[in-house]
Amino acid sequence: MDKWARPLVLIIAGVGFAGFAAGLARLALARLLRYDLGASIVIVSSLTTWLMAARAASSLASGVLADISPRARLAFMWLPLLGLALLVYFMSSLSSVIYIVALNAAWGLLSGMTWPVTQSVTALIAGPQRSGSAMSLYFGVAFLGMTAGQFIYGPLPLDNRGCLRLAAAAFAAAAVFIALAAMEAARVDVLPPARPRRGVRGLHRLVTPTAAWILFAAFAIGYASGMMKEFLYIYLGEAYSLTREALAGLLAAAGLMSFLAGLAVGPLADRLGAAPVLAAVLAAGATGETVLGLAPTAAYALLGMVLINLATRSSLPLTRNARFLGTEYASTLVGLSNTLNNIGQMAGPIAAALLYEHTKGTPLHGAPFLTAAALLAAALLAYPAIRSRHSER
């Protein structure tokens, strides 16, 4: 077995457990607030905003520190995950909406510390010829785990608090696998050396026109993705009168139907370059948001969700791949991509919830998704200028 393969396999196993934990916990947490504690849809949707605001704050900082210190880089891969397991377990016992929202922000801080670094390490240890495929596998397994977590929520004989405790155990398992991966990566020395203490100064000189477009796309996709979490869970149930089991089944079906596309994107990008593949992904996302915004029934909503999931999930191997963004100060650039995506995810759900509050019960109740379609279309329209300035082949 090649020396890069063992840590990569351990990372993939870890993100699978973490994806399952996140899929189960985020759905249970949204419904706990809305239906057990009586929170408004604005409050429930703000879970995504607060989580992503905190994640945006920590993503870039952890990326810079990871490029400076190999010890910090390895610690960031798993230690915050262990903290996250404890935090989710503690959240399961709370009855205060304010405290839950506050700890949800702490969840974002811990996520921002661990995932950008883990993503950059995955791309780097896979090497330039395999990075796209490795990142597709990384995100594909993560989202397959998330889909499994969402699906099992329906038939699981646990209340929302019990689901959170199960998710905490899965996060702890993820921390164990990724800690083993970090130790293995250090042992076989597959990572680049630390960079000097330059931080983000001069970062603009490292960002090529194509990288800048990828970063803008990360923001636009983040805005669309932010609506596909807690806001979507409540929207679908209320717009189409879905039961708990029907909601879980619809989310799982959309996830499974878009799964294979996410796996295919990385190998395609390895062959064709990131930009043309990302343009196709943006087109799919804009179409899906339009369909979901105008969907008269749950069946049409499913079609829109499949296209949006295809776009948001397929975009991640492209917008968070250190080999496509630039390998100098790799963790910093991946952290910046995460931060911009997180800022988009902060704005999306709050804008959606506020707009929904004014359009609920009218033919325009799907308008939040149309705003996401417009932003994705704007990113797509910028592609011809990038194509003319810089070739990725």
Does 195 map to a domain? no
Does 201 map to a domain? no
User: Nearest-5° angle of CA 203, CA 381, CA 276?
Assistant: 70
Q: What is the pLDDT of residues 184-230, one digit of tens each?
A: 877 766 555 555 554 455 555 566 777 788 889 999 999 999 999 88
Does 217 map to a domain? yes
Looking at residue 77, its pLDDT comes to 92
- Give dist(CA 389, CA 376) in Å, integer: 21
Q: How confident is the model at residue 392 (pLDDT cuts 50, 70, 90)?
A: very low
Looking at residue 187, its pLDDT comes to 75
Does 323 map to a domain? yes
Does 235 map to a domain? yes
Share of the chain above pLDDT 70, in %: 89
- Give dist(CA 317, CA 96) in Å, integer: 37
- Give dist(CA 73, CA 64) in Å, integer: 9
Q: How confident is the model at residue 391 (pLDDT cuts 50, 70, 90)?
A: very low
- For residues 232, 236, 242, 243, the Cα torsion angle rounded to the nearest 10 degrees is 10
Q: What is the pLDDT of residues 336-355, one digit of tens each?
A: 888 899 899 889 998 999 99
pLDDT above 70: residue 389: no
- For residues 342, 300, 252, 177, the Cα torsion angle rounded to the nearest 10 degrees is -30
Q: Alpha-carbon Rg of the chain, whole angstroms?
A: 20
- What is the DSSP code string of 32-44? IIIIIS---HHHH
Looking at residue 315, its pLDDT comes to 87
Does 16 map to a domain? yes
The parent domain of residue 172 ranges over: 5-190+207-389
Does 197 map to a domain? no
Q: What is the pLDDT of residues 82-131, one digit of tens each?
A: 999 999 999 999 999 999 999 999 999 999 999 988 988 888 787 777 77
Q: What's the CATH code of the domain at 152?
A: 1.20.1250.20
- What is the DSSP code string of 164-211? HHHHHHHHHHHHHHHHHHHHHHHHHT-SPPPPPS-TTTTGGGG--HHH
Does 369 map to a domain? yes
- What is the DSSP code string of 285-300? HHHHHHHHHH-SSHHH
pLDDT above 70: residue 325: no
Looking at residue 330, its pLDDT comes to 66
Q: What is the pLDDT of residues 297-320, one digit of tens each?
A: 999 999 999 999 989 888 877 887
Looking at residue 199, its pLDDT comes to 47
Domain count along the chain: 1
Looking at residue 161, its pLDDT comes to 97
Does residue 386 sit in helix, strand or coil? helix
